[in-house]
Amino acid sequence: MHNFNFNISAFIDKINDYAIFIISFLKTTFNNIIAIKDVDFSFGNILNSSGIIISFVSSIFYILIFITFLVFIGSIFNIIKTIIKWILFPFKLLIIGLCKSIKNIIFIKIKIHPVALEALF
């Protein structure tokens, strides 16, 4: 069971680790895609070229899986965001109503006892 009582530095270190992993994954993937320019279809170099082509196809496949994963995670975060909005909406209405009632009370007192602006200057 994970302990979720992280402090800020541990949280930043965790994000840093994830960022390093994602950047190294993308770097390797794009290097495999760029390596397709070295393909040579001569008879002596057919094994090397087939390895480059296989790594190119697998890199394209990895990128598609990564994009699908990001879209899936994005939709999950959208659902969580909507649930949080539904939970916080009554509190938002309560705070707005409280602020408006305080504002109305203050303005009623000002209307009852108007301050002469000439006396202020």
Number of folded domains in the chain?
1
pLDDT of residue 1: 45
CA 3 to chain CA mean position, Å: 23
pLDDT of residue 117: 53
CB 70 within 8 A of CB 56: no
Whether residue 3 is contained in a domain is answered as no
User: Which residues are CB-contacts of 25 (< 8 A; sequence separation ≥ 6)?
Assistant: 62, 66
Whether residue 22 is contained in a domain is answered as yes
Mean pLDDT by 10 residues, the chain (121 residues): 64 85 87 81 78 86 87 85 87 88 76 57 50
Whether residue 95 is contained in a domain is answered as yes
Whether residue 72 is contained in a domain is answered as yes
Whether residue 1 is contained in a domain is answered as no
pTM over 0.85: no
Whether residue 93 is contained in a domain is answered as yes
Domain extent, residue 50, equals 8-120
Whether residue 31 is contained in a domain is answered as yes
Whether residue 36 is contained in a domain is answered as yes
pLDDT of residue 92: 87
